[in-house]
Each structure stands twice: as structure tokens, then as C-alpha cells.
């Protein structure tokens, strides 16, 4: 609601009637002055003014000729699109000769997209006017009362997206990502909850690079969420901030569906994004790391095809000089020792086996031991005259230099032109330091991805960044798949996939069957458990079939076939996270049209012999469903089924019974997982 040049947030919650009296609503929310306030109580709103006595954060801060200056935003105007789904608010500051626009768009999933735009209106150049933007937020949001707790998702390499619920207090909260990617810091995805009503408020800043998110709460009880990214070394007053996304929902399940609807819409609206089935991957990394030649890869491809894999992805080690992680990055040509005739013979062999071909690249990086670095030592991020610190034995290319981006884009385009490559696993394994102009780096990347998608629309691109270190909604469209974690341990992946799937749909989240023992955790897990967990995502395999037993290969092949049968449901339906009284039991379920598929997994030893029934979700209470447990069944737990023949034939139950009474499944032993299939009976 506009009040002069101020703009207040009147309501953020459930939809109100179209004829709601907003003036009366504002009067109902108005508060009188208390003893420790200015005579006219300040209101923070969406563009607070410190001149009124506001003591909270500001949307943006500026310097004028080297001195801090407080903007005086005037002449507020409001505009809407004909469908009233987008609102623009515009202000001017005469001294700064700057125009500010804040936009709000109600997008797919009832997710609100908002951003700030600063436009130069002065007749002179910015540097002549002496205007420098020192900071600017994508979002400054007064939080509705009641949202007293927030869940953030922090972590580290191989321990991604660990949820932590915290109270919103006067001490405040803050999270920051530094190093040129969104990282594992946990400020870019937040879920606020109202403990009394169960309502949820979701937040995401769709920024590929660094961000800072903080919550400030004053002694009046007002809490404000601020999300911003670095302005850049230029400090210009002409720029757009990244988008921030906010969505209100009555419960956690509705919040997840809203984000999933929004993510799928972003994928679908990209002009170079044809709909595609999520093919079963076979990735070579954990099968052979750097230890391979062309002959071994051909044998590996044959084994992968026998399992039912549909895409063979050659990971690190294929390019010139890359026998370890100490050399080769930047030289994006096939290694002449391993591939004397290029990649063509391997790709032809893979295609003849009925699979398409994928390739790992890390184009933003360069090894000191590489032809590229020897030819252009100044193309990396560095400070003249100082040592060049490495991470993972590599340096970062300086994409602020146009010739660097042009060269890398040409290298990747040449690879795609000369080879039939259906998929690129685009990795980003180290932080950006010494720090470049981060906005320029991510902006050039965005242009590169867009151009590659336009020129090679049949090639899918995955974002991998030491696992889940660079995942955001802004990438969707140019990027079609994310690697949620480098950790393939199925017990860890259950938690990681549960948290990522709060926001991202399963089809964009890679989920692979890793080897046992797991190379990161050392844990040994049965194939049945590993495979069932991997079904719920974009399924793949990352283990050497030659090291599996016959029974393990048989089990894996059966689960791959199950995934193919059900992926049209898993990748189009509504996801529900199932509740269970045992905290070590995790359940997720997808409903789509007349079918549903659920996964229930026990990760620890149950304190009771007979676990509580598993209650399903998202069903029509009046409908009848045929319920089966697709085989293979967990080897140990199958002996505790009460009536195996009845489960094979299918039990017919109402949606009401399945959601209230539930299913009694053997979940006593650790590392036990069941898949439940449901089909509506006409």
C-alpha cells in the first residue's frame, strides 16, 4: 500500500477476497505510538527511509564524491500488467540522478519473483557524477508476525544441505557465501514457519555467485529479511539485482509443490529446452577414476548397457595430459595417448550399444601444468607480483577478460560440433580467488550457457560444483540437471535428497548408485538399498559392474527397469514427504494422475520389532487403490512380510485407509528400504 512516497507491505499470506477493503485492513493493522518512538511512528515497508526514525536495514546505500549519502526517493508511481500479475514501483532521486524500480511478479506456483533495478537518469557519465553504489539488496522483506522460526540448509563438501531450525530473535541471523559460487553456506534457501498455524514462508535468492542473507529484528518486534549480492568493483548505479523468490503456503507440502511448479515452468519456458526423458546415466568416475584407456572404457560401456543404462558419461581424465588432478585443465582436446583416434571410436561404440554419450568438463579452471597456462599465464585470477595460490592443484580463469571467455566458449563449442555429445557434466570445484568482479564472471557464464543451449539444443548440461555448491533457480533452463552432492552413500543421500527436494523436483536432481564400500564414508551397503534410494531422482550408476556379484547386477538391473517404468510419474507428479514416529525412517511419495510411487527407508536399528505403519499422503480419500510392493524385496526384511502372495497380487484399499491407517512394513533392520506402488482402480 502506498503512503506518499513510502510503500508498505500490507499482507503476505493466504489469498483475500477480491473485494477486501484494503483501507480497513490497513487500519486494523495500524499501531499507536509507544513511549520510545518518534511522534510519527516510522514504518519500515519495502523501501524504508532512515529520516523517519527507521532503525532497520536499507535497500541500498550510496557514496557521492566519496561521502556516504542517504537517497531521497521521491515521486512514487505504481504500474501493473493487464493481468495484474506484475507490479512495478518507481522512484527518482534528483541528487543521485538515479531511477529505482522494484518489481514483483506472481509467477508459476504462486511464487513471487522480485528484484531491484537502478537506472542512470543523469546527463553526465557515472564517474563524472561521482555516484557509487556501495551495497544493494534484491529483497528487503518485512516478515509477517508469527514466523518465529527459520530453517536454513548449511553443510560442507560431501555433507550438503543439512537442515537447522533456529528461532528468529533480536540477536539476528546471517549467512554469507564467498568465493564466487552459492556454495554450502545455507543462506540462499530458507523456510520460515509459523508454529501456531503451520504456515510456511519460503525464500530463495537466485544468484549463481556470492550472496549475503540476514534477518534483523528490533525491540518493537519487527523482523526484516535482507538478501543481497556484491555490487561489483565498478560500484555502478546502473544494474539489476538477481531475483529473489518468496512464496507463502499453508503447510510444508504446499510450499514444496509451489517451488516444484515454479522450477518446472522455468525449465519449460526456455526457448532452447526441448522436453526430454531423464535417461539412466552410467558415470565412469567411481568405477575407474583416472585409471582407464579406450579399451577399458569400451568394456565398461558394454557392462553398463547390460544393466540397462541409457547414457554413458566419461568423467575426468579424458583430455590431454590428465592422468591425475595435477595437470591438463584448460586443454580441452582428447588425450592422444588414451584416445589416439580421438573420442570418435568410443562414442561410436557407446551409440552402437544403444546409449548416448556424455562428457565431464571444468571449463572455468586451468592447471598450472597445461598448454593453456604456459601460453597465457596471465589468463588466471592473480595479483601481479604475488604468488598464485592453488586449490585442488588448479587456478581459476579470469572471465572478466573477454578473450578468456571467448576462448573457452570456442573450445567447448568445438567439442560439441566434432563429437556426438548428448550431455555435459559442467564442474566447478574450487572457489574464485583472488576475487574477480564476480558479477562479470557469472554474467559471462550465463551468456555462455545460453549460447551453448541455443547452438546445441540436444545437449543437456548439468551443474556440478563439488556436489551441490552451485544450485539455484536462476540456472534452470540453461542448466537442466544438478548434482546434489559428491557423496553417493545411500544413507547420506536419503537426507540430502529429502532436503534438496523441498525446493527442486526429482527430475533435476541426479541420484546415483555408488560402490560399496563407499569411497567417501567407507560404509558398506547392500545393492538393494542403494538402488532403491537412487530410483527417487534422476537415476544413475557410478560403480564398476565387473566388481559386483551376479546377484548385485541382477538387483541393479531390476531397479533400473523399475525406474524406467515409473519415471513418468516421478518426474511429473507431486512430491510428499511422509511422516513417521521413528526418526530414522524416511519416506517420500510422488502422486501423478492415477498412479503413485513411494519409498520408505530405515537407516538405523529400530528400537521395536514391529515399526509403526507407514501412512501415505496425497491420495483421494474416496478412491480405491491397488497397492503392491515391486520386487526385488530387501533380502533380510522380506522374511518378515505377513502375506507375500497378497502383496504380489495387490491389496485394494481406500485412499482414506492408506492415509490414516497406513501399511505395516518390516522396518526393523538398518539399511532396509521398500518401494510401494499404487494404481487407482476405476
Residues carrying an active site annotation: 427, 486
How many degrees, rounded to 5, is the angle at CA 475 between CA 474 and CA 481?
A: 140
- CA pseudo-torsion sign 62, 65, 68, 72: negative
CA–CA distance, 181 with 208 (Å, rounded to integer): 6
Answer whether 364's CB lies under 8 Å from 397's CB: yes
The beta-strand segments (E) located in 528-623 are 538-541, 574-578, 585-592, 595-602
With H, G, I as helix, E, B as strand and everything else as coil, classify residue 462. Answer: strand
Answer whether 544's CB lies under 8 Å from 300's CB: yes
Distances (CA, A) of 464 to 275, 469, 470, 535: 21, 7, 7, 20
Q: Which three cell numbers stand for residue 591?
A: 502422486
Helices (H), 336-488: 344-352, 371-375, 402-418, 438-455
Instruction: Spell out the long-range contacts of 385-388 with Cβ–Cβ below 8 A and sequence spacing 24 or more.
Output: none
Query: How distant is the alpha carbon of residue 608 from its chain centre?
Result: 37
Answer whether 241's CB lies under 8 Å from 228's CB: yes
Instruction: Spell out the long-range contacts of 410-414 with Cβ–Cβ below 8 A and sequence spacing 24 or more.
Output: 411/332, 411/363, 412/332, 412/361, 412/363, 412/448, 412/452, 413/452, 413/455, 413/456, 414/332
CA–CA distance, 608 with 613 (Å, rounded to integer): 12
Give the residue from 320, 324, 332, 323 showing the smallest Cα distance to 365: 332
Q: Which three cell numbers stand for residue 632?
A: 526385488
CA–CA distance, 312 with 301 (Å, rounded to integer): 7
Give the residue from 158, 76, 169, 17 showing the smallest Cα distance to 466: 158
CA–CA distance, 497 with 147 (Å, rounded to integer): 25
Cell 537412487: give the residue: 534
The beta-strand segments (E) located in 121-263 are 131-142, 149-156, 159-167, 173-177, 189-193, 200-205, 211-217, 223-228, 239-240, 244-249
CA–CA distance, 486 with 496 (Å, rounded to integer): 11
Give the residue from 529, 553, 548 showing the smallest Cα distance to 633: 529
CA–CA distance, 337 with 318 (Å, rounded to integer): 10
3-class SS shares of the chain: helix, strand, coil, % to 5: 25, 30, 45
Cell 515409473: give the residue: 566
With H, G, I as helix, E, B as strand and everything else as coil, classify residue 394. Answer: strand
β-bridge partners, 252: none
The DSSP code sequence of 293-341 is -HHHHHHHHHHHHHHT--EEEE-SS-BTT-SSTTS-TT--SB-TTT-TT
Amino acid at each position: 500500500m502506498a503512503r506518499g512516497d513510502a510503500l508498505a507491505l500490507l499482507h503476505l499470506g493466504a489469498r483475500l477476497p477480491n473485494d477486501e477493503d484494503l483501507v480497513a485492513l490497513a487500519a486494523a493493522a495500524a499501531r499507536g505510538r509507544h513511549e520510545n518512538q518518534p511522534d510519527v511512528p516510522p514504518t519500515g515497508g519495502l523501501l524504508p527511509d532512515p529520516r523517519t526514525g527507521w532503525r532497520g536495514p536499507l535497500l541500498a546505500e550510496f557514496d557521492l564524491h566519496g561521502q556516504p549519502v542517504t537517497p531521497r526517493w521521491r515521486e512514487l508511481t505504481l504500474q501493473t500488467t493487464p493481468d495484474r500479475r506484475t507490479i512495478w514501483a518507481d522512484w527518482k532521486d534528483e541528487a543521485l540522478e538515479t531511477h529505482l524500480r522494484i518489481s514483483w511478479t506472481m509467477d508459476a506456483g504462486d511464487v513471487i519473483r522480485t528484484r531491484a533495478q537502478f537506472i542512470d537518469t543523469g546527463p553526465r557519465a557515472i564517474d563524472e557524477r561521482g555516484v557509487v553504489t556501495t551495497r544493494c539488496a534484491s529483497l528487503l522483506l518485512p516478515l509477517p508476525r508469527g514466523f518465529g522460526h527459520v530453517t536454513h540448509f548449511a553443510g560442507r563438501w560431501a555433507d550438503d544441505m543439512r537442515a537447522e531450525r533456529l528461532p528468529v530473535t533480536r540477536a539476528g541471523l546471517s549467512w554469507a557465501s564467498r568465493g564466487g559460487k552459492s556454495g554450502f553456506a545455507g543462506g540462499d534457501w530458507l523456510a520460515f514457519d509459523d508454529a501456531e498455524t503451520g504456515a510456511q514462508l519460503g525464500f530463495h535468492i537466485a544468484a549463481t555467485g556470492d550472496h549475503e542473507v540476514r534477518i534483523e529484528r528490533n525491540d518493537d518486534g519487527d523482523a526484516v529479511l535482507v538478501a543481497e549480492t556484491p555490487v561489483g568493483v565498478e560500484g555502478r548505479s546502473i544494474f539489476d539485482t538477481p531475483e529473489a523468490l518468496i512464496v507463502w503456503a499453508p503447510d510444508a507440502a504446499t510450499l514444496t509443490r509451489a517451488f516444484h511448479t515454479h522450477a518446472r515452468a522455468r525449465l519449460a519456458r526456455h526457448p532452447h529446452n526441448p522436453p526430454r526423458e531423464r535417461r539412466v546415466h552410467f558415470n565412469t568416475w567411481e568405477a575407474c577414476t583416472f585409471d582407464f584407456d579406450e579399451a577399458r572404457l569400451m568394456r565398461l560401456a558394454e557392462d553398463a548397457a547390460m544393466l540397462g543404462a541409457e547414457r554413458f558419461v566419461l568423467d575426468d581424465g579424458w583430455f590431454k595430459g590428465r592422468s591425475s588432478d595435477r595437470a591438463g585443465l584448460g586443454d580441452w582436446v582428447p588425450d592422444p595417448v588414451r584416445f589416439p583416434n580421438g573420442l570418435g571410436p568410443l562414442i561410436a561404440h557407446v551409440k552402437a550399444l544403444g546409449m548416448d554419450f556424455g562428457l565431464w568438463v571444468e571449463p572455468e579452471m586451468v592447471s598450472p601444468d597445461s598448454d593453456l597456462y604456459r601460453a597465457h599465464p596471465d589468463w588466471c585470477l592473480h595479483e601481479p607480483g604475488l604468488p598464485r595460490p592453488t586449490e585442488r592443484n588448479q587456478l581459476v580463469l579470469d572471465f572478466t577478460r573477454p578473450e578468456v571467455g571467448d576462448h573457452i566458449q570456442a573450445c567447448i563449442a568445438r567439442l560439441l560440433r566434432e563429437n556426438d555429445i548428448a550431455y555435459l557434466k559442467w564442474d566447478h570445484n574450487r572457489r574464485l580467488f583472488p576475487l574477480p568482479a564476480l558479477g562479470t564472471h557469472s554474467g559471462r557464464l550465463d551468456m555462455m550457457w545460453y549460447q551453448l543451449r541455443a547452438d546445441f539444443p540436444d545437449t543437456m548440461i548439468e551443474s556440478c560444483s563439488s556436489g551441490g555448491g552451485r544450485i539455484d533457480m536462476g540456472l534452470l533452463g540453461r542448466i537442466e540437471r544438478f548434482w546434489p552432492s559428491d557423496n553417493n552413500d545411500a544413507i547420506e543421500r536419503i537426507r540430502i535428497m529429502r532436503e534438496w527436494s523441498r525446493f527442486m523436483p526429482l527430475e533435476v536432481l541426479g541420484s546415483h548408485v555408488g560402490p560399496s564400500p563407499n569411497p567417501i564414508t567407507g560404509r558398506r551397503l547392500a545393492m538393494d538399498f542403494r538402488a532403491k534410494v537412487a530410483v527417487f531422482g534422476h537415476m544413475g550408476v557410478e560403480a564398476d559392474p565387473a566388481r559386483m556379484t551376479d546377484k548385485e547386477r541382477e538387483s541393479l538391473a531390476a531397479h533400473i527397469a523399475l525406474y524406467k517404468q515409473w519415471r513418468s510419474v516421478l518426474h511429473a507428479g507431486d512430491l510428499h514427504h511422509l511422516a513417521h514416529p521413528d526418526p530414522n525412517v524416511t519416506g517420500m511419495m510422488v502422486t501423478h494422475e492415477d498412479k503413485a510411487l513411494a519409498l520408505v527407508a530405515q537407516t538405523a536399528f529400530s528400537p521395536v520389532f514391529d515399526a509403526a505403519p507407514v501412512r501415505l499422503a496425497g491420495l483421494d480419500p474416496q478412491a480405491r487403490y491397488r497397492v503392491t510392493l515391486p520386487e526385488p524385496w530387501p533380502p533380510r526384511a522380506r522374511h518378515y512380510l505377513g502375506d507375500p502372495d497378497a502383496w504380489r497380487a495387490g491389496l485394494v484399499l481406500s485412499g482414506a485407509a492408506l492415509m490414516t491407517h497406513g501399511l505395516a512394513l518390516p522396518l526393523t533392520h538398518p539399511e532396509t528400504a521398500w518401494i510401494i506402488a499404487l494404481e487407482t482402480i476405476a
